[in-house]
Amino acid sequence: MTARDAAFAAPLACVAAVVAVMWPGVRDLDAAGALLLVAAHAPLAVIRRWPTPGLVALLMLALPYHLLQYQHHALVPAEVIALFAYAVLGRRVRVVLTAAGVLLFVCVIGMSLRVGGASVREQIAVIEAVVSVVIAVQVWRVHRARLATITERAERAERTREEEARRRVAEERLRIARDLHDLLAHSITVIGVQAGAAAHLVRGDRPVDRTELAEALSSIADTCRDARAELRGTLQVLRGTDVETTGTLPGPDGIADLVQAARGAGIEVELDDSGAGPLPLPPEVGVAAYRIVQEALTNVVKHAAAERVAVTLSRDGGGLVVRVADDGIGPFRGVRGSVPAQESQASGGFGILGMIERARSVGGTLDAGPGDGGGFVVTAVLPTADAVAPQ
């Protein structure tokens, strides 16, 4: 880059020398003037790499050239290029350019007062050229800074949109994983228990009770049918289909079916939803309540070794309280004591973590841990119509 700038500065110095010889000013160009004129162009070769030293060196050579009354206009192009280059590349541009302009202004005014006559007009022209350059580079720099600011804001907005898009994709993937886990884990668990019961009836020593076997197989068929309907509803949501018109969106009305399926797995389940009240729930809250009960009952069937489960729905202020309590040993190998949310993966699953995320997605809270009298208790508080947190 320095060699290219030097190749530009050398012809410019030759042109300036020719101009000073052909149209001399107050003083003809002699050896000293030619040396100053050519040397003043030398900083242009390095001003791109060292803006401040280059501008200072040019000014130190330009001042004696002007003070000695050589042809002033011959040096103006080099001064303009130096000022413009510093405006683009230098620091503290306003202070340095103003100082350079004032310095050249004082120099030229001093020369005009000493000489007078036609030289005054020449000095004024030089002053106008220098001042014009200082003003022009300031305006250009402000415009350049404004464009840079606009570009930066546009890039920042684009990055924000991309980050928001990635965040929404991650949230949607999490929601899909949570829905599929809640649906498939519950259905497969219940089917497994019911199939095991049917196999036990067939393998037993006593004669096969066809009615009992038919009930077990019918329960399996009902569970498969319900799972298929729920899976269809989930796929409709993912495809953008209006699930409200199809009626496949799960809600509190379907909790009774969950209870019945758990009973079919051999567990005594009591459902008390009298305290929930007749007021309808927002769809997202209804789905959250349904899924929390579904996952809690799945954990009971798989891990708790419980005999009895109590499912309670009630209203408490501005929220719906969902409580599932069993008399089993809990989902973590019978360990008593506090069960942090992080331990939801202790047994290789994501059940409790999924329930916590489900409650938080509608602005609610969920606690899960050992009950006071033994067993395991899941309690979720979900906001109703006026209290649903904005998504």
Span 259-297, pLDDT tens digits:
888 887 778 899 988 877 766 778 888 888 888 998 888
> What band does 324 get if pLDDT is binned at 50, 70 and 90?
very high
Q: What is the mean pLDDT of the chain?
A: 75
Same domain, 129 and 262: no
How many separate domains does the chain show? 2
Same domain, 149 and 6: yes
| H or E, element range at 65 | helix 51-67
In a domain, 103, yes or no: yes
In a domain, 223, yes or no: no
Q: What does the alpha-carbon distance between residue 292 and residue 310 come to, in Å, rounded to a whole number?
A: 14
Same domain, 19 and 136: yes
In a domain, 172, yes or no: no
Q: Identify the CATH number of the domain in which residue 369 sits.
A: 3.30.565.10
Nearest CA-CA partner of 296 in 270, 331, 320, 266: 331
Segment 167-186 mean pLDDT: 71
In a domain, 219, yes or no: no
Residue that finishes a domain, picked among 153, 180, 208 = 153
For the sheet with 376-383, list strands across it: 268-275, 308-316, 319-326, 376-383, 365-370
In a domain, 126, yes or no: yes
- Using an 8 Å Cβ cutoff, are 245 and 233 in contact? no
Same domain, 140 and 261: no
- Using an 8 Å Cβ cutoff, are 32 and 72 in contact? no
In a domain, 183, yes or no: no
Question: Can you give the C-alpha Rg of the chain in angstroms?
Answer: 43
Domain that holds residue 266: 251-391
* Between 377 and 345, the higher pLDDT residue: 377
User: pLDDT at residue 20 above 80?
Assistant: yes
pTM for the model stands at 0.46
Q: What does the alpha-carbon distance between residue 334 and residue 277 come to, in Å, rounded to a whole number?
A: 36
- pLDDT given for residue 341 in this prediction: 41
Stretch among 94-98, 172-176, 294-298, 325-329 having the lowest mean pLDDT: 94-98
The single-letter DSSP state of residue 144 is H
